[in-house]
Structure 1
Amino acid sequence: MTSFIDFLSRLQPLSPALQSALLLAPRREALPARHVLLTPGQVARRVYFLETGLVRGYTLLHGREISSWFMREGDFVISILSFFTQLPGDETVELLEPAVVSSISYAQLQGLYRDFPEFNLIGRRLVEHYYVLSERRARHLRARSAAERLALLLADFPDVFQRVAVQHIASHLGLAPETLSRLRGRPGQGG
């Protein structure tokens, strides 16, 4: 739990009352690899903080898994559309490694916003941070060559090939696994 509160306090100093509420609110769990946090058709009711581990979000397109994103320790994880609308989503959120997560419900989050005005600043900063990441990811995937997409992923996530299966990385980059293997074999592409 300390890492969750430490992370938030780096964004904004926390009042003693907010710290107390944050100590009581989260549910902390150790979960195995391949544990699914959300399946298509479910409403995302919780926001997760990854103390340890790695998670991916993916959707199915014509029977194929398309990895949308990867998050690792120190990140917050939600299915954005489902969580903020509180409607069923089409995304699967799956742990790729054993993980320790702290989570709070949508209702708890709304209560923290209501009861602690300073928490609204934290929420805004988190939304801004993850919106920038999402926008950068979308632009890279739309406007870059395959080699550039791979280079950018490696710059952001140098150990991705040690932690994520090649087929998940390939689907994230919009490539066939064979194409990704050829790109990795080029000088300077590493991975």
Structure 2
Amino acid sequence: MLRRDQIQAIFRQMAGINEEEWQAFAQHLEEVTFPKHDYLCRAGETAQYLYFIYTGAVRVYHQTEEQEFTLNFHFENEFVTAFSSFITQTPSRVSLQALEQVQASRIHHQHLYNTYQQYHHAERIGRLFAEKLYVQKTNREIDLLSLSAEQQYLNLLQKNPKLISQISVKHLASYLGIHPESLSRIRHKLAVNS
């Protein structure tokens, strides 16, 4: 139960929710564990749950016949779902995979949206998260379009060293839009120059 306090603290900080509002949300939370490599949601499924990660890491990726494209990573104290699918309740175009064992709480789409309808603060939290995700997505797109792979890697290293240390070269290279060999060359070059 102490872990749920993490979620409550985030909600209180964002929107000042009161105990009644928190209980309306918390009564629908379910604790779940996903082993390494297991899926929280697969492409083609409709995302039914929003997850809050207590421990572990999740990769969000899109698969074509030829290639995997890593779109994002999510870590402890972050919310994750296949957001487009979750919002529209249509089949997901992305998969969410545990990169290591993930322990999380989750809430079903219907319960979350019922809470939005009942409580103004809950709806405000949803809006603030959507705004935050939009800003992150826009910044990521700008980086992909305007920065070299080396600059993107250096930015990642500065912003999120945990990402660099926990993620395989294959997945990290996919996130940067380069081949693993290119990432290895970048890492070697930076190690030599440091």
> Considering the TM-score relative to the shorter chain, is it more than 0.5?
yes
Greater fraction helix: 2
Is 1:153 equivalent to 2:153 in the alignment? no
Q: Deviations over 1:94-124 (max 9, x none)?
A: 0111121111111111101111112111111
Counterpart secondary structure, 1:62:
coil
Residue ranges of structure 1 left out of the alignment (5+ in a row):
none
How far apart, CA to CA, are the structure 2 residues paired with 1:149 and 1:15? Answer: 41
**Residue in 1 aligned with 2:9?**
6
Q: How much has 1:34 moved relative to structure 2?
A: 1.2
Shift of 1:188: 6.2
Structure-2 separation of matches of 1:87 and 1:28: 24
Matched, 1:86 2:106: no
Match of 2:65 in 1: 62
Give the TM-score normalised by the residue count of structure 1.
Answer: 0.94
Q: Partner of 2:34 in structure 1?
A: 31
Alignment partners' CA distance in 2, 1:120 and 1:179: 44
Tell me the CA shift for residue 61 of structure 1.
Answer: 2.4
Question: For 2:190, what is the secondary structure of its paired residue?
Answer: coil
Deviates more, 1:35-44 or 1:62-71: 62-71
Deviations 1:46-69 (A, max 9, x none): 111111111010011233221110
Q: Structure 1 residues 125 and 100, CA, compared in 2 at 3 Å: closer, same or farther?
A: same
Aligned mates of 1:163, 1:49 — CA distance in 2: 19
- Give me the whole-angstrom Cα distance separating, in 1, the residues matched to 2:76 and 2:162: 13
The counterpart of 2:165, out of the listed 146, 162, 165, is 162
Over aligned residues, Cα RMSD in angstroms? Answer: 1.6
Asked if the contact 2:52/2:80 (under 8 Å) is kept, the reply is: yes
Please list, as runs of the form range in 1=range in 2, the aligned pairs for 1:55-134 lying within 5 A after superposition. Answer: 55-134=58-137
Gaps of 5+ in 2: none
Determine the C-alpha separation between the residues in 1 that align with 2:190 and 2:32: 42
- Take 2:138 and 2:182, find their aligned partners in 1: how far apart are those partners? 25
TM-score where L is the length of structure 2: 0.92
Structure 2 residue identity aligned to 1:95: A
Residue equivalent to 2:53: 50
Query: Pick from 4, 18, 21: which aligns with 1:18?
Result: 21
Conserved 8 A contact 1:38-1:93: yes
Deviations 1:6-43 (A, max 9, x none): 22112111122112112211111122111101111100
Q: Secondary structure in 1 aligned to 2:12?
A: helix
Letter of the 2:83 partner, please give it.
I
Q: Percent sequence identity over matched residues?
A: 28
Describe the superposition over 1:110-149 as per-residue Cα deviations: whole angstroms up to 9, x where unpaired: 1011111121111111111111111111111121111111
| Residues paired across the two proteins, number | 190
Q: Bigger shift: 41-50 or 156-165? A: 156-165
Divergent runs of 4+, >6 A: none
Q: CA deviation at 1:79?
A: 0.9
